[in-house]
Structure 1
């Protein structure tokens, strides 16, 4: 429930860490004590989870003070009470960005692991182990930030500079402003200070806080915890260096284009797709000139003459009867009737048929030539 308010919190047992056989770590914790943060980072570690949950659920800021209701009792926390409870400095800079730039430049070289000035927007691994731990304390316990703690930020590095270079900071004003941001609606400030708020609630008269919970020992920095922190960081650093492969850049001539298939790298020929253009055959004039149409020669057919029947001239009355016997609708069928019947109906004479048959029966040599030429032209 309320454990989310102290998930990333680190608490310091100064008596234990100052007894370490590590000059770098001891010097760093002594700088913390000299800055005036010993009472804030090393107070008694007790948690009242139910009261803590009520406090954040009902808290707000009015007239520069923090108000809340815990178990039906009104709670008021003001800046002076905050300073007296944790023995915080009330003099010095209230804005970390006012730290002199020359001190910031000095700090970049002091905390460097390699000796080269670290980047203020780089990674924490560029710093010595004691300052990596100090950076975690600033991020998790002082400024109370969430997310990745591996990257450096301007705010963390300025806090670190103030402690290393012994810059006077009004830590009471800085920390109380962070508390006000925690209870302000819509603020992006993460909620924390679980141990500190629990200690403040203990001093409120007529307030029953209920059962208390001990702060997790895994989050309390002792000599053993700090030593383990150093070993793990050294081990991780060695593994990262050993596991880093040496990347060799291939020459540009051997680089295979992404657009070409894998077969091209093995040596197989790459078939290129040819573009096909669809054109209408009738729309191009040149197609008509190129295409040659072959025609088969049709042989001349000789039609044998039809023997003529004797012509009997009908009388005038018979011609009238024959003409009246053919309906108008059947005029078209007359074309399909034999030549003799057509002659009889239309009144044409037989000599015309015989003359036509004679011309078709025996064609001369000149006529055959004319016919053949006509066929080829077609």
Structure 2
């Protein structure tokens, strides 16, 4: 079903989120906008489910161009068309491996809840709330990765660094590379870009797109859904901290009990020993163990 192609997707209503009272959140969304991602993340949220299924079933890559057949019509999507359709930057880093190490180093402290550098193999609850949401956005809407959205990875954090630290990215090249991986044979790349692909298909007049449907409102970041995200993550974070504290208390109690058991065992052991000569040549007193 087409719905599986956007089950973990995320889109942004920039007008709504930029009007929020939360300055941290507003700054994060402004950074996305400044990075040149508004046209991609905030384009009209309409999907054509039948056309989307057709596209992925018939898509392939030839000579660096994505070809597919939708409703019996051939469509050809190039990197240039991709860039123009979403007004994406075409200059800057095209590969995350080129991300400056000093930018990543600085970002690890900038996003941290404590100010100390976060662990890049840890969980996103190490980060301030706006960056937790940014972590979700880069995972669901940019790199389109399946798996745990609570885990931080080097790839996710490199994308967050590009946005948060203003590192120039050739987003057209990056996104088109992801699209090519989505349609490649035997790929491990998750399927996504549902809204964007539908918008691209709409540029071909001969293609019958079928019936349009609205993208699920729960997957569009607006003031309402962002506040819900904050509420859920606040609660989950508190539960995790409480759980850790309880676990620590139990651990301490067990340690105390273990120490007491060792002392009792030691006392019993020595009471079993026969009397021995003391250093002054006298027998020490002995006592039997009551069994």
Q: TM-score, normalised by structure 1?
A: 0.66
Written as runs of structure 1 = structure 2, the 5 A alignment for 1:302-313 is none
Q: Which residue is equivalent to 2:272?
A: none
Specify the alignment match of 1:139 in structure 2: 139
Question: What is residue 170 of structure 1 aligned with on the other side?
Answer: 170
Alignment partners' CA distance in 1, 2:169 and 2:153 = 19
| Structure 2 equivalent of residue 191 of structure 1 | 191
The yes-or-no answer on 1:110 pairing with 2:110 is: yes
2:77 paired residue number: 77
Distance apart, 1:252 and its partner CA: 5.4
C-alpha deviation, 1:103, in angstroms: 1.0
The CA distance in 2 between the partners of 1:151 and 1:210, in whole Å, is 38
CA distance in structure 2 between the aligned counterparts of 1:98 and 1:20, rounded to whole angstroms: 34
The C-alpha deviation readout for 1:312-364, integer Å capped at 9, x for no partner, is: xxxxxxxxxxxxxxxxxxxxxxxxxxxxxxxxxxxxxxxxxxxxxxxxxxxxx
Counterpart position of 1:360: none
Aligned residue in 2 for 1:8 = 8
Distance 1:160 1:242 in 2: 29
Q: CA deviation at 1:241?
A: 2.4
How far apart are residue 253 of structure 1 and its match? 6.7
TM-score by length of 2: 0.86
Tell whether 2:26 aligns with 1:19: no
Q: How is 1:114-263 mapped onto 2 (pairs within 5 angstroms)?
A: 114-243=114-243, 244-245=245-246, 246=249, 247-248=251-252, 249-250=255-256, 251=258, 254=261
- Name the CA distance, whole Å, in 2 between partners of 1:110 and 1:240: 23
> Structure 2, unaligned stretches of length 5 or more?
269-291
Say which SS state the counterpart of residue 67 (structure 1) adopts: strand
Q: Distance in 1 between matches of 2:154 and 2:100?
A: 14
- Give the drift of 1:101: 1.1
The CA RMSD over aligned residues, in Å, is 1.5
SS at match of 1:160: helix
Measure, in 2, the Cα distance between the counterparts of 1:14 and 1:178.
23
Q: Deviations over 1:13-52 (max 9, x none)?
A: 0000000001100000000000000000000001100010
Alpha-carbon offset, residue 205 of structure 1: 2.1
Counterpart CA distance in 1 for 2:41 and 2:91 is 19
| Partner Cα distance (1:73, 1:152) in 2 | 41
- The match for 1:95 is 95
Q: Give the structure 1 partner of residue 49 of structure 2.
A: 49
Gaps of 5+ in 1: 256-263, 268-378
How far, CA to CA, are the matches of 1:128 and 1:90 in structure 2? 30
Q: Per-residue deviation at 1:80?
A: 0.3
Q: Distance in 2 between matches of 1:15 and 1:120?
A: 32
1:239 Cα deviation from its structure 2 partner? 2.7
In terms of Rg, which structure is larger? 1
1:94-134 CA-partner distances (Å, limit 9, x unpaired): 11121211111110000001111101111100000000000
* Aligned position for 2:289: none
SS at match of 2:144: coil
Q: How far apart, in 2, do the equivalents of 1:53 and 1:84 lie? A: 24
CA distance in 2, matches of 1:7, 1:230: 21
1:59-106 residue CA offsets vs partner (Å, 9 max, x unmatched): 000000000001110010001000000000000011112121111111
Aligned residue pairs, count: 257
Deviation, structure 1 residue 232: 1.8
Give the secondary structure class of the aligned counterpart of 2:195.
Answer: helix
